[in-house]
Amino acid sequence: MAHEHAAAQATAATAAFTVVEDGSVTTPAGFRAGGLHCGLKKTDRHDLGAILCEVPAAAAAVYTTNKVQAAPLKATRESLAAGGRLRAMLVNSGNANACTGKQGEADAYEMRAAFAEAAGVPQEQVAVASTGVIGELLKMDRVRSGIAQLPARLKAGAEGADDFCQAILTTDLVKKSVCVSLQAGGRTVHVAGAAKGSGMIHPNMATMLGFVTTDAPVGSEALQALLRQATDRTFNMITVDGDTSTNDMLVAMASGLAGGDELTPAHPDWEAFASALTHVCEILAKAIARDGEGATKLIEVRVSGAESDASAAAIAKTIVGSSLVKSAVFGTDANWGRIIAAAGRAGEPLDPDTVDIALGPILTLRDSQPVAFDEDAALAYLKGDTVEIIVDLKLGGGQATAWGCDLTYDYVRINAAYRT
Amino acid sequence: MAHEHAAAQATAATAAFTVVEDGSVTTPAGFRAGGLHCGLKKTDRHDLGAILCEVPAAAAAVYTTNKVQAAPLKATRESLAAGGRLRAMLVNSGNANACTGKQGEADAYEMRAAFAEAAGVPQEQVAVASTGVIGELLKMDRVRSGIAQLPARLKAGAEGADDFCQAILTTDLVKKSVCVSLQAGGRTVHVAGAAKGSGMIHPNMATMLGFVTTDAPVGSEALQALLRQATDRTFNMITVDGDTSTNDMLVAMASGLAGGDELTPAHPDWEAFASALTHVCEILAKAIARDGEGATKLIEVRVSGAESDASAAAIAKTIVGSSLVKSAVFGTDANWGRIIAAAGRAGEPLDPDTVDIALGPILTLRDSQPVAFDEDAALAYLKGDTVEIIVDLKLGGGQATAWGCDLTYDYVRINAAYRT
């Protein structure tokens, strides 16, 4: 736990890494990416994309905990199990290939094999992901023809990454991408990520779709442990609507092309690398929360003074997931009563007489009793595009942060007519 | 468990009880009720009410599991603990008297004492309940003057019950009341109930506010066990928004004035009485779900074939609580993909290849694979005011039913501006 805290603090402080302006999943050495429209979406937006690494990258992945899992997850698990290395990640949007039975499974494996052949890589080094409508078979003629053209479209640099980020979106309004660099083992190392996700967001193991690339020299096993740890603190701490998807998947590929010593938890630069990768995941996770279906605001809930970090996390997620809290934030209503009510139903230890609650700089509750505050100042604060809810339970040293978004008319509009 | 099933089946079938048209909490022998406007609500609607029994009634209660509990719950627990008998239940709406500290507690006890004095009953035989805004002190001058007038306003018959039902509402649109009669021990026995609740509805022990009256001769201990059992199957199976209130309370009073032998679980008529009381709770619970904030439809989710009844209940509640399922029902979208995704994230045993899902009479999924169905017929079905979602997991014999409502623009509108 001391280890995890160090990483968290490194992320919170200005850590030993720098954000690369205009950096993307193709910035780390060895990666190309791209996307195209093959015909799965009704619009002409891209719906098929891939990231290709010029060498077999050490790889790691985390998946949804939903008992109903989409077909591509099976193919991807099999690839990862074959040797912990990936050359490529292939993604389609517009169709989740979930609840599609044996045919869906065959389609996922066919996608993997077809891309492997087109790109000239082993099929057990290809990961496959899908996102979109559940329960419809893929139009495989379109997928096949898209895959055949895709390898020639993959590019280094910003353009390829942009096409890829475009290709993985569904109801998302914005592309989600980030890149940081750091010094490790005397070399410059990059860590980058791209993600999609807007609805059915309540990750419980991974998030929607997330893709991390790095040129750091790191083995699959260390990468897997780090990805799990970073996920628990970032993607698993966001919620849009409490619905955990059938398709959530986060995949990381490390090309090692930055060179230098292998990074392991024993290496003096490991913490810097861990905090950089955690930062990449946090930026993407917050971008998903802010781009939640219909959202107008990012909500950040910071809980401290809980009995443990896990307890703080459960309370933070309960607050950020409360429809009543989310509606109040949308309505710029400083309704701390709903915040303490949500905290109280989280099923975690809580002394009902010692709770402090602030909305950003405005203290509204001290020791569970209302504090007179300036309603105009609160209104002005709540009109901003980020709302911080800060809860101190004064029980112990546990702390956690969760992110979500407000509940709006547009969330209802988008989801009342998604399939039809 | 066999015992519980018998009661459930008696409720489902046309059981050994009859619904009393125009019956209410004052129909059982010995009860008067009433309400008035004392000034806690901004409108001129009633905001203070009471039910009074002419004899000390055997009493039972269940309370919210929220760790933050409103002051009146403390006063009520103390009354129940004093001897298991109640003469009266006093309720105010417009102010929840929650998160109000020592003053709030003093106010709850003062309400209890003041009503006891005004009505001429012992204060430890008075239960107190509050509902409304959290975190504001009661305007006690208004409460005091209301309480002084209240005993004179209590009436037998429909008028008094109607005033009481009015007085307990907040954002509710309709009053919720029911009465049944049955033969037990050679006498005619009545069981009636009234409830309120529209938002912050995700009961986990009791519901919002519920009040049950009966003239059956039943002891507090048997009544408590039965109330718990009925609550688990009815009030605890509804959700509007997943938010468990700080004020939930269900109180039952049995006057015994129907006469005859004491009803105990060993009595041959116990099952008939249990099914009648469970039915009263179910009708009220469904009325709360249907009157959920902004709701246009009642959603009933019936899960069968689960590993156990508890597992079926968890899955049914997860489905009925899913914002995506709720939005789809509002949008009359036969989106079974969201239903199976919700079932899969409930954390319960589920074979992803054997799930059947029907929307009322329309089968949409068999063995987890889509069934071609008539979209027009589905649309017509979904336009009705009750939507049944029927899920068969084909794993075991566990079954449960949960109730909720759709998620609409009006839910957001109501909750974006509740406090201000």
- Contact A327/B409, CB-based, under 8 Å? no
Listing DSSP states for A36-82 in one string gives E--SSSSSSS--EEEEEEEEEEEEEEEE---SS--HHHHHHHHHHHH
Residues contacting residue B156 through CB under 8 Å, at least 6 positions apart: B26, B31, B32
Which of A234 and B149 is assigned the larger pLDDT? B149
- Nearest CB among A202, A348, A412 relative to B412 is that of A412
Report the catalytic residues of B: 207
Domains of chain A are 2-288 (3.60.70.12), 298-416 (3.10.20.340)
User: DSSP label at A174?
Assistant: S
Q: Which residues of A are annotated as a binding site?
A: 170, 196, 207, 293, 415, 420
B238 CA: distance to closest CA in chain A (Å): 16
For residues B160 and A41, what is the distance between their CA atoms, to the nearest angstrom?
A: 60
Q: Which residues pair with A196 in a beta bridge?
A: A209
For residues B15 and B278, what is the distance between their CA atoms, to the nearest angstrom?
A: 11
Instruction: Determine which of A287-291, A350-354, A373-377, B386-390 has the lowest per-residue pLDDT on average.
Output: A287-291
> In degrees, to the nearest 5, what angle opens at C-alpha B345 toward C-alphas B342 and B350?
95
Task: Report chain A residues whose CB lies below 8 A from the CB of B413.
Answer: 409
User: Is residue A360 predicted with pLDDT exceeding 80?
Assistant: yes
Quick one: pLDDT at residue B245? 65
Residue in chain A nearest B137 by alpha carbon: A370
For residues A39 and B55, what is the distance between their CA atoms, to the nearest angstrom?
A: 75
A410 CA: distance to closest CA in chain B (Å): 8
Task: Report chain A residues whose CB lies below 8 A from the CB of B106.
Answer: none
- Kindly report, residue by residue over B291-322, the tens digit of the pLDDT: 888 889 999 999 999 999 999 999 999 999 88
Quick one: pLDDT at residue B128? 95
- Contact B99/A416, CB-based, under 8 Å? no
Closest CA to B25 of B198, B228, B251, B292: B251
Quick one: pLDDT at residue B200? 59
- Kindly report, residue by residue over B69-91, the tens digit of the pLDDT: 889 999 999 999 999 999 999 99
- Kindly report, residue by residue over B183-241, the tens digit of the pLDDT: 988 899 999 988 887 665 554 433 368 888 999 999 999 999 999 888 888 888 887 66
Quick one: pLDDT at residue B125? 96
Listing DSSP states for A195-215 in one string gives EE-SSS---SSS-SEEEEEE-
Report the catalytic residues of A: 207
User: Is residue B34 predicted with pLDDT exceeding 90?
Assistant: yes
- Nearest CB among A99, A331, A337 relative to B133 is that of A337
Task: Report chain A residues whose CB lies below 8 A from the CB of B344.
Answer: 66-69, 244, 246
> In degrees, to the nearest 5, what angle opens at C-alpha B119 toward C-alphas B116 and B125?
40
* Token pair belonging to A306: 């809980």
Closest CA to A189 of A117, A283, A96, A261: A261
- Contact B331/A135, CB-based, under 8 Å? no
Q: Which residues pair with B196 in a beta bridge?
A: B209
- Contact A327/B245, CB-based, under 8 Å? no
Quick one: pLDDT at residue B11? 41
